[in-house]
Amino acid sequence: MSYQALARTWRPRTFAELVGQEHVVKALVNALDDERLHHAYLFTGTRGVGKTTIARILAKCLNCEKGVTSTPCGECSACTEIDSGRFVDLLEVDAASRTKVDDTRELLENVQYTPTRGRYKVYLIDEVHMLSNHSFNALLKTLEEPPPHVKFLLATTDPQKLPVTVLSRCLQFNLKRLPHSMICDRLEKVTGSESIDADTGALDQLATAADGSMRDALSLLDQAAAYCHGSLTEKDVRAMLGTIDQDAAVRILRGIAAADASELLATVAELDEMVPDYGAAIDELALLIQRTALAQVAESVLEELGSVADAVSEFAAAMSPEDLQLYYQIALIGKRDLHLAPSARAGFEMILLRMLAFRPAEADGGAVTATPAVAARTAGEKRRMAPARTVSSATPRSDVAGTRGSQAGKSGAVGIEGLESWEQAIDGLRLSGAVRQLASHCQVKSVDEGVVTLVLDEAASHLQTGTLQEKFRQALCDGLGRDVRIRIELGQPGAETPAQKLNRQEAERQQAAEQSIDRDPNVLAIQKAFDATVDPSSIKPASH
């Protein structure tokens, strides 16, 4: 007997065998059991999620010799002939190859005649959106008032292209992409039944490549079984798919975090020997960055990451959320433009170097010193790769952020050099992003026993988070060259904060600009000549 593809061998023949799409199955089963049958059903969704399969199962439910049922017997002649594609009253049409109006008229010319063998004459039209406008018009009248013995089952991957007149005459079911875990479970069952040896990592790669399509997953399993001689390993499957392993993505992200261009280029050189799909390599790196960002806000994510969990935990503690967002955006834009690069490898290398080049120099409170090749790691960057400190959140309105040992209390009440002017201190620390916003909305209240007490403007209370306070404290320690602690209280600062000063100065500059325009003789002349008025929102102070 000739070999049959796994996607055909394992095609579900009943609703009970169907994987996923419970929302569609429930509606159809209830309709069949209650005999509330519509004359036209439209199944939409991406490729390989079960549109045609569900339509064929529904055709069996309608024509099973034991009666209309949600559980066809699978043994009668009607069921077996539908399974084998030989049932005379099931007319399957690929609309992509029969788009002309004459084809549609020919298809419908016998619609008024009763079924030859079955209970219903079922028209299954796949990719129905490919029909021409004239074909839809020919179908419309029959679809609106079909004979009682006719059922229409339509399937499409692009329902937006269907006329609303057709959509309004059908019951529409939107099939979802299948989740990764469900595809993995199905592949595990298939490999077990087909005596295919496969490790978990290999099946995970196949499920990822399938992108929500069970048919694609089974087709890829067929391909992998042939490529790997029936014994699937993650390494072999990655080689077949052209993807890089997670260890390589981890090494790349570690090199980015450490600003080590030499390590990055060496890793790319190793990857190039395997002739990878660099688009897939960018996907793997972007996925690792995304998982790291998620781990920073929800540690429970680590439980689902398996062997890469330790690396993700390391990166989550060592890298700032701002950097991760920047790297993720660079990866997405880089993949979009990859085809424009002289070569895929060159494009991939430039994406990695772009992540280094656009890295904020002041992200950790200190500047990155440059070498002829690449910016080297500073003391602040080395701290980034160390385990993160946890900040207690038990007292959200007043919190001491960290400590560095017993030396912190030796300064006494005589103050700390470098904090005489808070605005100058902030500029000297070279803060950026949300950390600078936090500092700018504060004013020094007191300095006592190595503890800097700050008052945070109530209007900026959203900045009072443990993560930002710890980053702020580390930058302050680096800038002052000594260990200090900070305490942030919420309230009204006694003096103008740097943020308030900046807002006041900008308002004064805006007012001065508007007054300058109001007094400008050329503007006054134009207003008089054309009876014009000046839009205040269009006036912007000159940059300085």
CATH of the domain at 483: 3.30.300.150
pLDDT given at position 543: 62
Residue pair 122/10 in contact (Cβ under 8 Å)? The answer is no
pLDDT given at position 184: 92
Residues 34 and 150 in one domain: yes
* CB burial of residue 150 (10 Å; 0-12, 13-18, 19+): buried
Residues 459 and 314 in one domain: no
Domain boundary among 174, 197, 229: 174
Domain boundary among 357, 384, 411: 384
Residues 52 and 152 in one domain: yes
Nearest-CA neighbor of 445 among 396, 395, 494? Answer: 494
pLDDT given at position 360: 56
Look up the domain containing 44 and give its range.
6-174
Domains held by the chain: number = 5
pLDDT given at position 371: 33
pLDDT tens per residue, range 52-100: 999 999 999 999 999 999 999 999 999 999 998 899 999 988 887 777 7
pLDDT tens-place values along the chain, 544 residues long:
578 899 999 999 999 999 889 999 999 999 999 989 999 999 999 999 999 999 999 999 999 999 999 999 999 999 999 998 899 999 988 887 777 788 788 888 888 888 988 899 999 999 999 888 888 888 888 888 889 999 999 999 999 999 999 999 999 999 999 988 899 999 999 999 998 999 888 898 899 888 899 999 999 999 999 998 878 998 888 888 877 777 888 999 999 988 888 888 988 998 888 778 888 889 989 999 999 999 888 877 777 776 778 888 888 888 888 899 999 999 999 999 999 999 999 999 999 999 988 865 544 443 333 333 333 333 333 334 333 333 333 333 333 333 333 333 333 337 456 577 888 888 888 888 888 889 999 998 888 878 889 999 988 888 888 888 888 888 888 888 888 888 999 888 888 899 898 889 888 988 888 888 888 888 888 888 888 888 888 888 876 4
Question: What type of residue sits at position 343?
Answer: S
344 is a domain residue:
yes
pLDDT given at position 359: 62
Domain boundary among 174, 206, 221: 174
CATH code, 185: 1.10.8.60
Residues 378 and 403 in one domain: no
* Ramachandran class of 121: left when φ > 0, alpha when ψ lies in -120 to 50, beta otherwise: beta
pLDDT given at position 395: 33
Residues 345 and 268 in one domain: yes
Residues 21 and 170 in one domain: yes
Residues 419 and 521 in one domain: no
CATH code, 144: 3.40.50.300
CATH code, 359: 1.20.272.10
> In the numeric block, which tokens belong to residue 356?
């280094």
pLDDT given at position 365: 40
Query: Is pTM, for the whole model, over 0.85?
Result: no
515 is a domain residue:
yes
Nearest-CA neighbor of 401 among 467, 461, 486? Answer: 486
Residues 423 and 518 in one domain: no
Task: Compute the distance between CA of residue 407 and CA of residue 396 in angstroms, rounded to an integer.
Answer: 26
Task: Compute the distance between CA of residue 174 and CA of residue 162 in angstroms, rounded to an integer.
Answer: 14
Residues 361 and 486 in one domain: no
Residues 328 and 418 in one domain: no
pLDDT given at position 362: 47
504 is a domain residue:
no
Residues 27 and 91 in one domain: yes
334 is a domain residue:
yes
CA angle 270, 273, 278 (to 5 degrees): 85
1 is a domain residue:
no
393 is a domain residue:
no
488 is a domain residue:
yes
pLDDT tens per residue, range 163-210: 999 999 999 999 999 988 899 999 999 999 998 999 888 898 899 888
Residues 110 and 13 in one domain: yes
- Residues 349-356: contacts with CB under 8 Å, at least 24 apart: 349/264, 349/265, 349/268, 351/282, 352/252, 352/255, 352/256, 352/264, 352/268, 353/261, 353/264, 354/330, 355/256, 355/326, 355/327, 355/330, 355/331, 356/256, 356/259, 356/261, 356/264
389 is a domain residue:
no
